[in-house]
Amino acid sequence: MKKRIFLEICSVVLLAISILFFTSCETLDNIGLKISSVFSYDKDEEENSAKAKSSASKISVKQNYYKTPESYEKAYSYRTDSPEKTIQLYIKNKNIDSLRSSNPNEYIKSISDKINEIAGNDFEKVKMAHDVICLLVSYDAKNFWANTVPSQDWQSVLKTKSAVCEGYANLFQQFMISLKISSQKVSGYARGVGTDISTENPKASNHAWNIVKIDDCWYLVDCTWDSGYMKGKSSVQAYTTDWLFLKPEHFIYTHLPSDAKNQLIQPALSAAEFAALPDFRPKLFEIAGDGFNSIKKNNSAASSYSIEAKIKEGWKLTYVLRADSGSEVKNGIWTEKDGSITETTFQFPSTGRYSVFVYYGKESSLSGQSCGQFIINASEASSIKYPAVYPVKSKSAKLISPKQSPLAGGDTVEFEVFCDDRAFVAAIVGRDFIQLENDGSGSFTGQVSIPKGTKQISIGLSANGKGSYETLAVFEVK
């Protein structure tokens, strides 16, 4: 018996050595499993074999847990920014809604049955559950700010239609259980309300979201952030699919799981690597592609800094530049557009740290929504100032020259503006409207003598030359 034990121990050692030398892609857990499966010589050999199989099953699940799709094309087809209409109407049914508070279990079952009836695949099932939660539940801003958050179990969330992130994640889990789809609640740090990228502590846990398994691959879902946003200390309900099935390499810009494997990224980022990332949101990647990939959270520059990106047709990005004091830097940003390529340059009036805030919007919109923030440390001061350029309804309006401000009183300046969807462009000096001449192709030019004592000159656009002009740009005059 002793001889047999000795021989089997030797075989185990030899096997361990061969595994370590010849198996470059296996985990230590796998190595341990292989050793333990060989080293089972006693009377409980059958029991040990069963344990080994159970262990192997757990390891297999752990490996699948990291599996992500080669392509996100199918998943992204469900990121429509629109809820599924049938399920949207279903949850408005009075009889169904009465179950929500009287019998939460029956409510979940009823909606799950409806989802199973109309969904063609698990992607649709997950999206419909996501839609129910994002349409039904409002963020509990009042209790969040008062630090009096009540129970976040899924039943309470349904009854009150109110939750913080924990409740959203719990309710999503319950739907996945009912729909028989594998999922898990994830906790970690997120760049949400009350965080500041310049002072953040990504090792602290402040948020909860989910991961879900579809067709043997894992995807990320954050119902809280897809249900709306915080405006001041109030919650605004605003449905999106920004955080539904979002690629892990984009999700990681804002969410750092406490358990690294839940990043769904290999190799996983450390807390320090996450902290070095800028705060970029899904719409930025959607609109600008890879144009911002080289930007870090902290960037160094001399007196200016430029970004070049290919912008998705019909969309635009705008920026706000703030000094470390919090004050906005006026006349420090200039954007040039050449087809789909835009180049934006920032000028820094003094040395120091500046924050750049990025906003997205439709090309025709006059306002934008936040989609990014990063920091630039300027080592030199710039004397360059730009005219203030404002968003206008015209799709083509563009100030060609001059590109610097202030202008000098007493000088004669050549102005050039391109605008092929307006009939009149004027330089406005006080109450005088000096019309620029159109060459017929949309290029307006003209020389303007600037009277001494003038404080500013505006460039205005008009469809008929009467009434008010829409302001495109304003120049300071000294």
pLDDT at 465 over 90: no
Query: Residue 417: CA atoms inside 13 Å, Cβ hemisphere, count?
Result: 30
Distance CA(402)–CA(425), nearest Å, equals 15
pLDDT at 340 over 90: no
- In which band, very low, low, confident or very high, does the pLDDT at 199 lie, cut at 50, 70 and 90? very high
Distance CA(19)–CA(11), nearest Å, equals 12
Measure the CA dihedral 363/367/372/378, to 10°: 100
For the ranges 150-154, 195-199, 257-261, 336-340, which has the lowest average pLDDT? 336-340
Q: What is the pLDDT of residue 391?
A: 86
For the ranges 112-121, 277-286, 401-410, which has the lowest average pLDDT? 401-410
Which DSSP string corresponds to 231-275?
A: ETTEEEE----TTBS--HHHHTTTEEESSGGGG--SSPPPHHHHH
Give the sheet arrangement for strand 207-214, strand by strand: 217-221, 207-214, 183-190, 255-257
By percentage, how much of the chain surpasses pLDDT 70?
86
| The model's pTM | 0.81
Q: Which H or E run contains 428?
A: strand 424-429
Distance CA(158)–CA(108), nearest Å, equals 9
Q: What is the pLDDT of residue 5?
A: 43
- In which band, very low, low, confident or very high, does the pLDDT at 61 lie, cut at 50, 70 and 90? very low
For residues 362-381, average pLDDT: 93
- In which band, very low, low, confident or very high, does the pLDDT at 464 lie, cut at 50, 70 and 90? confident
**What's the one-letter identity of residue 424?**
F
Q: What is the pLDDT of residue 59?
A: 34
pLDDT digit string, tens, across residues 421-463: 999 999 999 989 999 999 999 999 999 999 999 999 999 999 9
Q: What is the pLDDT of residue 369?
A: 93
For residues 371-383, average pLDDT: 97
- What 3-state class would DSSP assign to 64? helix
pLDDT at 24 over 50: no
| Contact of 173 with 183, CB cutoff 8 Å | yes
The chain-wide mean pLDDT, for the chain, equals 87
Distance CA(52)–CA(115), nearest Å, equals 39
| Contact of 352 with 198, CB cutoff 8 Å | no
Q: Which two tokens stand for residue 404?
A: 């610097």
pLDDT at 2 over 80: no
pLDDT at 36 over 80: no
For residues 377-400, average pLDDT: 92
Q: At what angle do helices 165-179 and 104-118 cross, to 10 degrees?
A: 60
